[in-house]
Amino acid sequence: MRIFRSLLIPVLALLAALLTGAIVMLIFGDNPLKAYQGLFAGAFGDGRAWATTIRKMTPLILTGLSVAYAFKAGLLNIGASGQFIFGTVCSVAVGISMEGMPMLIHLPLAIGAGIVGGMFWGAIPGLLKVYTGAHEVIVTIMLNYVASLFAGWTVYAGGTQGQTPGPLWDPTAGAISETPDVLASAQIPWMFGPPYRVHWGVVLALLVAVLFWWLIYKSIFGFELRTVGQNIKAARYAGIAVNRTIILAMTIAGGLAGLAGAIETLGLNHKFAPEFSGAVGFDGITVALLGQTHPLGVVLAAFMFGALDGGASRMQFESGVAADIIQVIQALVLAFVAAPMIIRSIFRARWLSEAEGQATLTTGWGGN
């Protein structure tokens, strides 16, 4: 019953978003049925469709977990995007150097570099929050820009007037801004090779989700983290080192987003170019909220978003509806999840408010 209830809002939100998307298509004279057929076929129609869905889902699991992790400590990590990019740059830097290293050492090193880079980028807002009171939302948003511009600089192709190119720029690429390919010893092997192009990173992401669940719900550290998130005063009273917990929460959230960057690069793109942006980091916010910040929910939400992304191009091809509509739908999902009142009035789910009535009792009377 509890699982059913917690699934209800996200499922209704998705439904409402798909309905609204259909209305938008109707207004522009498109056929939503045909579009959604194409979408479904593109996401689950055959082996290649499934492969696309899984490929798109993999980084979303990790960025979703990143946002969810910080959320458990009562922090809003809007910086998964920047942490993703910074992690990517770090893992590429390791991946393109150290020639001749066996994969057994090189690959873990490159993945580790991504994690450490993301942790570093996440630790900054945590430290600033604890020691200066700077709000993590503002700091992470700003650090997104910094990471993005820094990453651009590392692959800067140099200028015609003799400006120095970026340190990771591939000279053989001519004027194109990108890094060389990571060495084969640092590439995550295919689970299903071309044309499917599914790498073992998806298994790693799922394992991390399990580890996340264990850490949050089974370990002392998770108990402390959740207590800080639920009632920071009670956490202090209980002797929990609140400041350390906040810094660690942001650091680990950053590490998860950094790992997403590492896996995406070492498994799929094999290099970094500025167009591999951090959108997947922003989608992590939606995925985390849609998944109710529970690891299983995050995996399911990432799967759903992966399917939407995966089916988009087939939809466009088969029905002529621009793939951009998928982004509209994804944004609507977030809007509906963030505003359960809308969902409630649309679906007239009165008994939902009864379930919530119980929760509001817990706040009690705060008068006087």
**160 lines the binding site for other proteins (CB under 8 A):** no
Minimum distance from residue 218 beta carbon to other proteins (Å) = 6
Minimum distance from residue 68 beta carbon to other proteins (Å) = 17
Question: Residue 276 and residue 88: Cα distance in Å, rounded?
Answer: 10
Q: Three-class SS of residue 368?
A: coil
Q: Pairing mode, if any, of strands 198-199 and 190-192? A: antiparallel
Point out which span in 59-67, 113-121, 230-238, 321-329 binds other proteins (CB under 8 A): 230-238
The C-alpha R_g of the chain, in whole angstroms, comes to 22
Phi, psi of 199 (to 5 degrees): -105, 170
Point out which span in 30-38, 91-99, 213-221, 271-279 binds other proteins (CB under 8 A): 213-221
Looking at the Cβ atoms of 161 and 363, the one nearer to other proteins is 363
Q: Which of 102, 133, 174, 365 binds other proteins (CB under 8 A)?
A: 365
| Helix (H) / strand (E) containing 191 | strand 190-192
**364 lines the binding site for other proteins (CB under 8 A):** yes
Looking at the Cβ atoms of 154 and 251, the one nearer to other proteins is 251
Minimum distance from residue 217 beta carbon to other proteins (Å) = 8
- Under 8 Å between Cβ of 121 and 147: yes
User: If you search the block for the tokens 């995007």, which residue do you land on?
Assistant: 81
All residues at 6 or more sequence positions from 49 whose CB lies less than 8 Å from its CB, including other chains: 41, 42, 43, 310, 311, 314
Minimum distance from residue 367 beta carbon to other proteins (Å) = 5
Minimum distance from residue 230 beta carbon to other proteins (Å) = 5
**220 lines the binding site for other proteins (CB under 8 A):** yes
Q: Tally the C-alpha atoms within 13 A of residue 154's C-alpha that lie toward its C-beta.
A: 21
Residue 273, class by beta-carbon neighbours within 10 Å (0-12 exposed, 13-18 middle, 19+ buried)?
A: middle
Looking at the Cβ atoms of 57 and 216, the one nearer to other proteins is 216
Looking at the Cβ atoms of 196 and 221, the one nearer to other proteins is 221
Looking at the Cβ atoms of 131 and 317, the one nearer to other proteins is 131
Looking at the Cβ atoms of 217 and 317, the one nearer to other proteins is 217
Nearest-10 crossing angle of helices 2-27, 350-361: 130
Looking at the Cβ atoms of 238 and 339, the one nearer to other proteins is 238
Minimum distance from residue 222 beta carbon to other proteins (Å) = 8
Looking only at residues 232 through 261 of this chain, which bind other proteins when binding is defined by CB under 8 A?
233-234, 236-241
Looking at the Cβ atoms of 237 and 351, the one nearer to other proteins is 237
Q: Tally the C-alpha atoms within 13 A of residue 145's C-alpha that lie toward its C-beta.
A: 4
Q: Three-class SS of residue 270?
A: coil
Looking only at residues 342 through 361 of this chain, which bind other proteins when binding is defined by CB under 8 A?
358, 361
Residue 278, class by beta-carbon neighbours within 10 Å (0-12 exposed, 13-18 middle, 19+ buried)?
A: buried
Looking only at residues 62 through 121 of this chain, which bind other proteins when binding is defined by CB under 8 A?
none
Minimum distance from residue 201 beta carbon to other proteins (Å) = 28
Looking at the Cβ atoms of 58 and 245, the one nearer to other proteins is 245
Nearest-10 crossing angle of helices 340-347, 2-27: 80
**211 lines the binding site for other proteins (CB under 8 A):** no
**Residues at the interface with other proteins (CB under 8 A):** 218-223, 227, 230-231, 233-234, 236-241, 358, 361-368
